Amino acid sequence: MKTTHFLTCCSILTAAIICGCASDTSDQNTKPEAAQATSSANVAYKDRQYAANPSTVKFGEFKSVELKATELPAAEDSAGNRESAQKIDEMLQAGLKNIWPDLKVIPAGGDFSNGGDRTLQIAPRIEHIRVVSVGARIWFGVMAGGSDLVMHVDYRDSSTGQVIANPDFWQGNNAWSGGWSMGATDNQIRDAVVAQIFSYTSGNK
């Protein structure tokens, strides 16, 4: 009798875990590559609606380009998130230098150049980041939840001070894909968002 009662409790607990994790069913291929969030902040990132946001000025019209270090809001500031921001900056710099070899990098806390040639000023910002660590994924598997990264990028015309494009980029995984890949898809969300930024930037050149 005790054995039956124990098994029944285990079955109920297992079903609850599965239902909870199954509710996080974000698909990496269902979001647009370059987009701007239009729904309220309390809606899950994977469920938000996005709209395309093309630049009003072609990036090829600029004589020079400057890239600012990725801003990390205080609410998202942690050792792990700072490490993620640094990796994102490294990838952005390497990729954008393939488009603009003379790309000037502005460090964190620095300011864009004043005067001179008409310059495209690119300022990326992390709106939200949750990357499940490998350790947490190994220990907790699907129970560690999913990962999400939302980035906002302002493209500004230095000659007018106007923001000519301000798209948002999103990528996430669900708890199950993170669990089965032992954390591989958690780290890949950074690569995917950077790839989206490259695609958007080159597409508007």
Instruction: Tell me what pLDDT residue 175 has.
Output: 44
**20-29, 48-57, 108-117: least confidently modelled range:** 20-29
Q: What integer best gives the mean pLDDT of the chain?
A: 73
Tell me the CATH number of domain 53-203, given options 3.90.320, 2.120.10, 3.40.50, 1.10.287.
Answer: 3.40.50
Each residue of 117-167: pLDDT tens digit? 899 999 999 998 887 655 455 544 455 455 778 999 999 999 999 999 999
- How far is residue 2 CA from its own chain's centroid? 49
CA distance 92 to 96: 6
Each residue of 173-194: pLDDT tens digit? 654 343 444 445 567 789 999 9
Q: What is the domain partition of the chain in residue ranges?
A: 53-203
Side chain identity, residue 169: F
**2-6, 27-31, 57-61, 131-135: least confidently modelled range:** 27-31
